[in-house]
């Protein structure tokens, strides 16, 4: 049963899936409860200042160092812009666009504190992708890194022509029309909006296997739950910890690991727009970081460069975003003496639900179910399978999938369980062993990529008559995007044309979606009713 929403704009509450399509939600573990009136930003930020901890460092990065009190001042100024300058009612959707940076974190906190709903987007997304998200979430306004305004302004202009105004401010500029200028007009504290615990605070988008993004809706309560359940039991952070890592705040993995988890305990986080393996290692040493979040690809590249003495304070190295190869785990432990902490999560569940603590690792296994969650293996009929049998990974817990107006809700949630799209087996000791994806999602270096979305763009190139896109095995990235392309007659395949097609994708989609492998073929395998046989393409990719 939901509490009556406090939102003046009821779009998100109105577009939750019907209650009968929700997964079974488990009560929080014993000892955890949340008040009816709850604002997650207030709990993550204001509460520490009220407790006399405003002097502690909250965020570092991009040349900035902000204490909790200084961060609160920035957040309150932005919240005044949202509610007083823009006159947005609570429940309005505010799109956020930017690389990791203390200012992006302040914008996210301000949106949530103001009672609006944060719509997080990847900085690499192009106009086409941003427009779909803006329409699906019916975005009312946006806060954007000034360096990334161009693609978004094109969306704003197109929406304006349809009578859908979307006020936008860029940050990171001294322009009189920028966010910082608007913030300077406000100095009074901002009282957190009186939201209820199950008001929607976040819409996080995940790629669908068809290429149509799915908006996942999460409550104020959920944002605290992932810290109080997963982070508390897997990482046991304290106020003295320093969090660092690569995942964007637009990913729920990054939002949790680099903002919610540290701020829940009054710790600090390092937010930089871009890391390389070399600079992340330097950052770990310079900031004396104790908890790191990144993908297996980074750990694999950092291992031969790591100096254990420089990482003396590092106590948790968390790997997620893609399956962790056993050799990467071994290389990292040999180089640093530290076991990797692997996690499996999903945007639908908000964060991780399977993981392993150091000392409890079983090489090759993803881990065991996180305290407060349940997981099992189901067959196609929804029946539990015995230990050792391969089937669909099913999870339930205090968080769960709630898509924004999406028929795919009934595919992800079945029999009360969240079905992640992964094939697993579970052993007699409750360890889960990854086998494969059960859908057509390509997971490359931690990024989820839908093959049909790449196909749609390839087909707009004048040289392409037909195409199919799947994931090909790759030692470094786990998988890479591979495109099988049929050319229009009389064109002949060559390396230059392959490069042109790769650039075409980079121009129209986020660059990480481009096909690193392009193979020209005379025709594609299709059924009698013209359905593309992706399993054949995957066999070709394996052989390649």
For 175, the token pair is 């322009």
Query: Which of 69, 143, 118 has the alpha carbon at shortest distance from 220?
Result: 118
Residue 295: which pLDDT band, with cuts at 50, 70 and 90?
confident
Q: Is the pLDDT of residue 526 over 80?
A: no
For residue range 216-226, list pLDDT tens digits in order.
999 999 999 99
SS (H, E, C) 18-46: CHHHCCCCCCCCCCCCCCCECCHHHHHHH
Residue with tokens 């399993």: 535
Q: Is the dihedral of CA 112, 114, 117, 119 positive or negative?
A: negative
Q: What is the mean pLDDT of residues 176-184?
A: 96
SS3 content of the chain, % helix, strand, coil (to 5): 35, 25, 40
Report strand pairing: 117-121 vs 93-97: parallel
- 235 vs 232: CA distance, rounded Å: 6
Round the CA-based radius of gyration of the chain to a whole number and report it.
Answer: 23
Q: In whole angstroms, how far apart are CA 327 and each of 334, 363, 475, 476?
A: 10, 9, 10, 11
Q: In whole angstroms, how far apart are CA 541 and each of 208, 354, 472, 493, 535?
A: 22, 30, 5, 18, 10
Lowest mean pLDDT across 186-195, 300-309, 370-379, 525-534: 525-534
DSSP 156: H
Residue 15 DSSP SS3: coil
Q: What is the mean pLDDT of residues 70-90?
A: 98
Tell me what pLDDT residue 211 has: 67
Tell me what pLDDT residue 208 has: 65
Lowest mean pLDDT across 171-185, 249-263, 503-517, 521-535: 521-535
Q: What is the mean pLDDT of residues 345-364?
A: 90
For 66, the token pair is 């902000």
Tell me what pLDDT residue 531 has: 63
Q: In whole angstroms, how far apart are CA 100 and each of 127, 129, 270, 373?
A: 20, 20, 9, 29
- 402 vs 203: CA distance, rounded Å: 10
- 511 vs 516: CA distance, rounded Å: 11
- Helices and strands in the chain, H and E counts: 19, 25
Half-sphere exposure of 75 (CA within 13 A, CB side): 29
Torsion, CA 256, CA 275, CA 354, CA 300, rounded to 10: -170
Q: What is the mean pLDDT of residues 250-261?
A: 96
Tell me what pLDDT residue 535 has: 82
**Greater confidence, 124 or 191?**
191
Residue 528: which pLDDT band, with cuts at 50, 70 and 90?
low
Q: Is the pLDDT of residue 157 over 80?
A: yes
**Greater confidence, 206 or 516?**
516
Contact 72, 54 (CB under 8 A): yes
- 149 vs 170: CA distance, rounded Å: 7
Lowest mean pLDDT across 138-142, 313-317, 431-435: 431-435
State the DSSP string of 345-365. E-TTTSSEEEE--TT---TT-
Residue 387: which pLDDT band, with cuts at 50, 70 and 90?
very high
Instruction: Give me the domains of the chain, ranges plus CATH numbers.
Output: 39-194 (3.40.50.980), 441-543 (3.30.300.30)
Residue with tokens 């719509």: 119
- 68 vs 84: CA distance, rounded Å: 23
Average pLDDT, the chain: 93
Q: What is the mean pLDDT of residues 147-169?
A: 95
Contact 287, 260 (CB under 8 A): no
**Greater confidence, 117 or 451?**
117
Query: Which of 244, 360, 228 has the alpha carbon at shortest distance from 291?
Result: 244
For 398, the token pair is 């205090």
For residue range 7-30, list pLDDT tens digits in order.
999 999 999 999 999 999 999 998
Q: Judge residue 78's burial from the number of C-beta atoms within 10 Å of its C-beta, 0-12 exposed, 13-18 middle, 19 or more buried.
A: buried
Largest Cα span, the chain: 74
């Amino acid at each position: 049963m939901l509490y009556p929403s406090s939102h003046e704009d009821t779009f998100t509450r109105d577009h939750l899936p019907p209650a009968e399509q929700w997964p079974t939600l488990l009560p929080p573990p014993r000892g955890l409860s949340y008040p009816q009136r709850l604002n997650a930003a207030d709990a993550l930020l204001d509460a520490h200042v009220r407790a006399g901890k405003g002097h502690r460092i909250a965020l570092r990065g991009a040349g900035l160092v902000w204490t909790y009190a200084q961060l609160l001042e920035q957040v309150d100024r932005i919240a005044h812009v949202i509610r007083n300058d823009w006159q947005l009612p609570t429940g309005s959707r505010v799109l956020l666009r930017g690389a990791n940076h203390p200012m992006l974190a302040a914008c996210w906190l301000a949106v949530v504190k103001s009672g609006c709903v944060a719509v997080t987007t990847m900085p690499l997304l192009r106009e086409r992708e941003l427009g779909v998200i803006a329409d699906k979430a019916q975005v009312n306004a946006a806060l954007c890194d000034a360096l990334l305004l161009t693609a978004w302004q094109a969306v704003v202009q197109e929406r304006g022509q349809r009578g859908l105004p979307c006020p936008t401010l860029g940050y990171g500029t001294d322009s009189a029309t920028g966010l910082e200028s608007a913030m300077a007009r406000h100095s009074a504290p901002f009282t957190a909006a009186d939201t209820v615990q199950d008001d929607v605070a976040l819409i996080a988008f995940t790629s669908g296997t068809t290429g149509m993004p799915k908006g996942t809706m999460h409550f104020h309560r959920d944002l605290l739950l992932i810290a109080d359940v997963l982070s508390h039991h897997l990482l046991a952070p304290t106020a003295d910890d320093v969090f660092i890592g690569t995942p964007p705040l637009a990913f729920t993995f990054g939002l949790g690991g680099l903002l919610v988890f540290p701020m829940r305990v009054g710790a600090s986080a390092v937010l930089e727009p871009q890391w390389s393996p070399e600079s992340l290692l330097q950052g770990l040493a310079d900031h004396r970081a104790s908890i790191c979040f990144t993908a297996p690809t980074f750990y694999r590249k950092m291992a031969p460069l790591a100096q254990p003495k420089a990482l003396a304070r590092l106590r948790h190295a968390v790997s997620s975003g893609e399956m962790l190869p056993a050799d990467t785990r071994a290389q990292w432990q040999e180089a640093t003496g530290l076991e990797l902490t692997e996690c499996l999560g999903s945007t639908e569940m908000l964060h991780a639900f399977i993981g392993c603590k150091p000392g409890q690792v079983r090489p090759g296994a993803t881990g065991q179910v996180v305290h407060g969650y349940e997981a099992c293996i189901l067959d196609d009929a929804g029946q539990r399978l015995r230990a050792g049998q391969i089937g669909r990974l099913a999870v339930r817990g205090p968080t769960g999938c709630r898509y924004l107006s999406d028929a795919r809700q009934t595919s992800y949630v079945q029999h009360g369980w969240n079905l992640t799209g992964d094939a697993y087996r579970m052993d007699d000791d409750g360890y889960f062993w990854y086998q494969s994806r059960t859908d057509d999602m390509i997971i490359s270096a931690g990024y989820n990529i839908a093959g049909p979305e790449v196909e749609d763009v390839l087909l707009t190139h004048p040289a392409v008559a037909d195409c199919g896109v799947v994931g090909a095995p790759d030692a470094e990235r786990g998988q890479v995007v591979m495109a099988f392309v049929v050319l229009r007659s009389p064109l002949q395949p060559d390396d230059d044309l392959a490069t042109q097609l790769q650039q075409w994708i980079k121009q129209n989609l986020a660059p990480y979606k481009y096909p690193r492998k392009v193979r020209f073929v005379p025709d594609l395998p299709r059924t009698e009713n013209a359905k593309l046989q992706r399993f054949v393409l995957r066999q070709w990719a394996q052989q390649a």
